Amino acid sequence: MQTLTLTQPDDWHLHLRDGAALQAVLPHTVRQFSRAIIMPNLKPPVRSVADAAAYRDRILAAIPAGKRFEPLMTLYLTDNTDPAEIIAAKASQFVKAVKYYPAGATTNSDFGVTDIRKCDRVFEAMQQVNMPLLLHGEVTDKAVDIFDREQVFIEKHLIPLKQRFPHLRIVLEHITTSDAVEFVLGNNNIAATITPQHLLFNRNILFKGGIRPHFYCLPILKHEAHRRAILQAATSGNAKFFLGTDSAPHGRNSKETSCGCAGCFSALHAMELYAEAFETVDAIDKLEAFASFYGPDFYQLPRNTEKITLTKTTWRIPDEVPFAESGLVPLRAGEEMTWQMA
């Protein structure tokens, strides 16, 4: 196969930042994706419909001339979110979901939820208006090993949440373990996004030849057995699993430091990365549904009609691309790839 033509995909988990950073990274996403679920963890976070509307306007203003792109907005859940804000969000039609971060779990999550049960009134409202809940599914308890935080979250928080709100639609984002795959498969009204880094790499890559900060993300890369389970889920043809890059831009000076930020930047070459992952298990025929169909179906949105084409060719990922404060290092920078978007 020398060319691969797909219905234009969407990214169901994306960080765009704001200001100069937004201006720098948005064109990479627009080149490949028609729509994206935009993460709300700005400083300060996007906590209201008014915040989301203002941020959406800034994104629309940054779209390159002549290009089309629809940002799908989310609200940042806090201990104090008012259920009335959920009703307003649903009425807005441009807010598509609410994002749960455990306080302190990842970048700009300090405003996150300290106790998930404090949000039950919000979850009840979300269930009533059919608003999806997007979960960063990790505990932040320092007593829990970083490689076990997803599994413990499922057992301690997600199972009870589903019992309390069986009709709440949930996306368990950027899943990293076989435990998450099993939970998604075994429960109704729940789906999962999968990133390119969790399909392609296990935790060994973090230390190959030394510490490699540009492979550091949260949830952290896991054991090879978990990577294989994630890859099998993504390529299975099951509509519960779909594309979400979690592309998270941090300048080189924020990654290559004594306390580097978590996040992998993949918006530059996301579809090429996914194509390589699917090809490793001879499942390239399953890529279109994973990237272009299952996400819109879960979010109850129309599928795209435009097409993109990937070509079988060898090219080198740049060492860095321009960014706001310093160079931005893409995932697998400097390495060769075997698919390229036309």
Q: Catalogue the active-site residues.
A: 246
Question: Rounded to whole angstroms, how far apart are CA atoms 316 and 335?
Answer: 6
- The 10 Å CB-count burial string (b at 16+, else e) for 196-229 is bbbbbbebebbeeeeeebbbbbbbbbbeeebbeb
Question: Rounded to whole angstroms, how far apart are CA atoms 70 and 35?
Answer: 5
Q: How many CB atoms lie within 10 A of CB 287?
A: 22
CA atoms 47, 51, 53, 56: torsion sign: negative
Helix (H) or strand (E) run with residue 341 in it: strand 336-341
* Close Cβ partners of 27 (under 8 Å, ≥ 6 residues apart): 64, 67
Nearest to 262 by CA among 190, 195, 182, 180: 195
Joined tokens for residue 237: 């043809």
Question: Rounded to whole angstroms, how far apart are CA atoms 191 and 244?
Answer: 11
Helix (H) or strand (E) run with residue 43 in it: none
DSSP string, 269-327: SHHHHHHHHHHTTT-GGGHHIIIIIHHHHHTT-PPP--EEEEEEEEEE--S-B--SSS-
Question: Rounded to whole angstroms, how far apart are CA atoms 183 and 191?
Answer: 10
Q: How many CB atoms lie within 10 A of CB 239?
A: 14
